[in-house]
Amino acid sequence: MENGAVYNETTEPQAKPPRRPFGCTLRHLRGWRLPTKALQAILSLLAVICEEIVQDCITCGGLYFFEFTSYSAFLLSLLILCVYCTDVYETFGEDKVQRV
């Protein structure tokens, strides 16, 4: 007897899960949460654009603070959308995402 006849494959290879385009999923932001986060990103980007339109100001300290906060809100809302709407959430795990 040959070794090939004795040791046949007894298990089937596991099927890979279907790939989503760019790993996108809306499973973690359901209901009103997804439109709210998308609206937050759009409005904070609009605030950054409106701030950049201002050419002259007398006291610019408040304007610079507004620019910093609106740009930070835009970046953080994009980060939240990327984490919750891609495979990153499953990769890191819920406990690590909640901690961050």
- Overall pTM surpassing 0.75 (yes/no): no
C-alpha span between 68 and 62 (Å, rounded) = 10
Average pLDDT, the chain: 80
Residue 21: predicted pLDDT: 57
Copy the structure tokens of residue 70: 């609106």
Output the CA torsion 16→17→22→27 (10° steps). Answer: -160
| Residue, of 20 and 94, whose pLDDT is higher | 94
pLDDT at 32 over 80: yes
pLDDT at 4 over 60: no
Helices (H) and strands (E) in the chain, counts: 5, 0
| Residue, of 46 and 20, whose pLDDT is higher | 46
